[in-house]
Amino acid sequence: MAIPNDVRRFCGVVQGSVLKSDAIRHASGASTATAEPVLVAAFGSRTFGRSTFAISRLCLDMIRYLALTSLACVVAASLPTSRARAQTIAIRADRVIDGAGGVTPNAAVIVEGARIRNVGPLPSGFRGQVYDLGNATILPGLIDVHAHVVWYFNSRGRFHTPDDGDTPVQSMLAAAGNAYQTLMSGVTTIQSPGSPEDRDLRDIIARGDLPGPRILTSLGSLSERSGTPSQLREKIRAFKSAGADVIKLFASRSIRDGGAATMTPEQIDAACGEARAIGLRTLVHAHSAEAMRLAVNAGCTQIEHGIFATPEILSLMAARGTIFSPQCGLVFRNYLDNRAKYEGIGNYNAEGFASMESALPTGIEVIRRAVATSGLTMVFGTDAVAGAHGRNVEDLICRVNEAGQKPLDALASATSVAARSMALADSLGTLAAGKLADVIAVAGDPRADITALRRVVFVMKNGHVYRHESTAGSAR
Ligand SMILES: [Zn+2]
């Protein structure tokens, strides 16, 4: 496996067979007789202190895993380097969609360090590195406000559950793989509602030590079983202390169990009221119109799913400024396509799958209704679970091709509108001077053919290039 010099430096690669630390030798159990370069997890000891042992092992396992799955070279190319940071970069293509409704033909995004310096014609005599992407379309990095990045299929090819025998290392490697797939598909920011494991993944990606999307997480969730209003308030403060970026509530049953309201008005009022008071947004899982109404009345920030949303409740949401995060089809199709991997676990039973099948046309209809509701803020949230990571854009394709949303509106929903919904509009969601350089490109023009989103040719996050593919011979 060939490892570029800058990556060699970054990972502390040692040519030959010497493992530098007893802890790492012990943890890896690796043969030291191999002629392959041995990766010493230098960043483990630097960054993790007491957990060096476990992280070194994780690192080594991860490198083996990546090598096995042929991702190593791409990951190597995608690890950030100080050289990349110092440079001024121009990304040029036949069109730039800025995420806020604007389209500029034949333009470049100029990036300096982690931020965008300018968007416009490529300056004559530009001396930095130029990525000329030809007939591609440059877009802001996509934002998926609802993705379960740690959900995966286990070593036996079944949906992972806590007691299935997979080790914590296997689980974290799978989550890292999901994060990687998500980033490479052009999604540079996700919001996870949410698991405790999200925190370590969020933090290691934020440090630049692992390629993945920026992650915001609720670290867990609350439901009708979480206690009295005062107990709910206390739990929300505890989530904040633990580092949660947002609060997730389950205010209705699953679609597989009918979707009826579960939390009482007092519980929802307490939860959304307390979160608001301490500066946290609330994402409320709600399917029935009644559950949605309770969330709107409690002043919660955003409603997830809403498969039984009526025109009345959508108008009420528009009037109150409640954000809507519906799914067009990816989540249901993914469950149905991977039925054998889920079936028999919890409510993934015959009835549950029948509910999801019937939710497919309903989901599309709800998007149609939402598009037709004036003043309603609709964000892009796929509810990506095991099997769907890296295919997030399928839900945008569904919106345009099956629910009739205009391509630029669908793209805004996954960029500027999503950034606003997460209170990140100052730094993300549009291509404009001063914003963080999350820049992607797809072959062709997604306004003419939204499936262009499947053909990602360039991914930059925070000014680092993670993916760059030749556009020669691509659809024109
Ligand atoms: Zn979900």
pLDDT at 214 over 90: yes
pLDDT at 110 over 70: yes
**Composition of the chain by helix, strand, coil, percent to 5:** 40, 20, 40
The Å distance, Cα 147 to ligand 1 centre, comes to 7
Note whether 350 and 417 are same-domain residues. yes
At residue 50, the 3 state secondary structure works out as helix
Angle at 256 between CA 254 and CA 257, to 5 degrees: 70
The Å distance, Cα 324 to ligand 1 centre, comes to 14
Q: Tell me, what's the pLDDT at 333? A: 96
The Å distance, Cα 21 to ligand 1 centre, comes to 42
Higher pLDDT, 57 or 108: 108
Residue with tokens 């959304």: 272
The Å distance, Cα 37 to ligand 1 centre, comes to 41
The Å distance, Cα 25 to ligand 1 centre, comes to 40
The Å distance, Cα 67 to ligand 1 centre, comes to 31
The Å distance, Cα 383 to ligand 1 centre, comes to 5
Which pair of structure tokens corresponds to residue 6? 């800058």
Q: Which residues contact 273 (CB under 8 A, 6 or more apart)?
A: 233, 298, 299
| Percent share of the chain, pLDDT over 70 | 81
Note whether 366 and 408 are same-domain residues. yes
pLDDT, tens digit, 9 for 90 and up, residues 240-297: 999 999 999 999 998 888 888 999 999 999 999 999 999 999 999 999 999 999 999 9
Q: Which residues contact 162 (CB under 8 A, 6 or more apart)?
A: none
The Å distance, Cα 472 to ligand 1 centre, comes to 38
Residue 137 pLDDT grade (very low, low, confident, very high; cuts 50, 70, 90):
very high
The Å distance, Cα 305 to ligand 1 centre, comes to 8
The Å distance, Cα 379 to ligand 1 centre, comes to 14
The Å distance, Cα 97 to ligand 1 centre, comes to 29
Note whether 211 and 347 are same-domain residues. yes
pLDDT at 28 over 60: no
Q: Tell me, what's the pLDDT at 256? A: 82
Mean pLDDT of 205-212: 97
Q: Tell me, what's the pLDDT at 79? A: 53
The Å distance, Cα 185 to ligand 1 centre, comes to 20
The Å distance, Cα 195 to ligand 1 centre, comes to 11
Q: Tell me, what's the pLDDT at 71? A: 45
Among residues 421, 441, 460, which one ends one of the domains? Answer: 421
Angle at 212 between CA 348 and CA 280, to 5 degrees: 75
The Å distance, Cα 253 to ligand 1 centre, comes to 12
pLDDT at 351 over 70: yes
pLDDT, tens digit, 9 for 90 and up, residues 411-466: 999 999 999 999 999 999 999 999 999 999 999 999 999 999 999 999 999 999 99
Give per-residue burial for 363-384: e unless 16+ CB within 10 Å, then b: bbebbbbbbebeebbbbbbbbb
pLDDT at 218 over 90: yes
Asked whether residue 278 is domain-assigned, the answer is yes
The Å distance, Cα 208 to ligand 1 centre, comes to 26
Q: Tell me, what's the pLDDT at 50? A: 32
pLDDT at 476 over 60: no
Asked whether residue 475 is domain-assigned, the answer is no
Mean pLDDT of 38-46: 28
Integer Cα distance of 378 and 386 in angstroms: 24
Asked whether residue 476 is domain-assigned, the answer is no
CB 99 within 8 A of CB 139: yes
Higher pLDDT, 359 or 57: 359
The Å distance, Cα 282 to ligand 1 centre, comes to 14
Give the residue among 11, 169, 170 at the shortest CA–CA distance from 76. Answer: 11
Note whether 98 and 160 are same-domain residues. no
CB 11 within 8 A of CB 43: yes
Mean pLDDT of 130-151: 98
Q: Tell me, what's the pLDDT at 472? A: 56
The Å distance, Cα 194 to ligand 1 centre, comes to 8
The Å distance, Cα 70 to ligand 1 centre, comes to 30
Mean pLDDT of 52-80: 44
The Å distance, Cα 156 to ligand 1 centre, comes to 23
The Å distance, Cα 148 to ligand 1 centre, comes to 6
Domain that holds residue 438: 82-140+430-468
Query: Of 57-61, 146-150, 180-184, 441-445, where does mean pLDDT reach its minimum?
Result: 57-61
Q: Tell me, what's the pLDDT at 254? A: 86
Asked whether residue 214 is domain-assigned, the answer is yes
**Rg of the chain (C-alpha set):** 23
**139, β-bridge pairs:** 440
Note whether 316 and 329 are same-domain residues. yes
Residue 87 pLDDT grade (very low, low, confident, very high; cuts 50, 70, 90):
confident
Among residues 59, 78, 97, which one ends one of the domains? Answer: 78
pLDDT, tens digit, 9 for 90 and up, residues 153-174: 999 999 999 999 999 999 999 9
Note whether 297 and 228 are same-domain residues. yes
Asked whether residue 461 is domain-assigned, the answer is yes
The Å distance, Cα 219 to ligand 1 centre, comes to 13
Q: Does the pTM of the predicted model rise above 0.75?
A: yes
The Å distance, Cα 133 to ligand 1 centre, comes to 35
The Å distance, Cα 442 to ligand 1 centre, comes to 27
Integer Cα distance of 321 and 92 in angstroms: 37
Among residues 35, 54, 78, which one ends one of the domains? Answer: 78
Q: Tell me, what's the pLDDT at 367? A: 97
Label residue 345 exposed, middle or buried (CB < 10 Å: 0-12, 13-18, 19+).
Answer: middle
Task: Name the E strands within 241-367.
Answer: 246-250, 281-286, 302-305, 323-325
Note whether 56 and 120 are same-domain residues. no
Q: Tell me, what's the pLDDT at 80? A: 52
Q: What is the residue-averaged pLDDT of the chain?
A: 85
Asked whether residue 203 is domain-assigned, the answer is yes
The Å distance, Cα 279 to ligand 1 centre, comes to 22
pLDDT, tens digit, 9 for 90 and up, residues 365-379: 999 999 999 999 999
The Å distance, Cα 301 to ligand 1 centre, comes to 16
pLDDT at 9 over 70: no
The Å distance, Cα 392 to ligand 1 centre, comes to 13
Q: Tell me, what's the pLDDT at 257? A: 83
pLDDT at 101 over 60: yes
Beta strand pairing status for 136-140 and 88-97? parallel
pLDDT at 13 over 90: no
Q: Considering its fold, how many domains does the chain have in total?
A: 3
Residue with tokens 């925070």: 462
Asked whether residue 473 is domain-assigned, the answer is no
Note whether 353 and 437 are same-domain residues. no
The Å distance, Cα 247 to ligand 1 centre, comes to 13
CB 314 within 8 A of CB 324: yes
Integer Cα distance of 450 and 469 in angstroms: 19
Note whether 49 and 89 are same-domain residues. no
Note whether 113 and 248 are same-domain residues. no
Note whether 247 and 375 are same-domain residues. yes
Note whether 439 and 395 are same-domain residues. no
* Max Cα-Cα span within the chain: 70
At residue 405, the 3 state secondary structure works out as coil
The Å distance, Cα 284 to ligand 1 centre, comes to 10
The Å distance, Cα 229 to ligand 1 centre, comes to 23
Asked whether residue 117 is domain-assigned, the answer is yes
CATH code assigned at 386: 3.20.20.140
Integer Cα distance of 322 and 301 in angstroms: 6
The Å distance, Cα 254 to ligand 1 centre, comes to 10
CATH code assigned at 94: 2.30.40.10
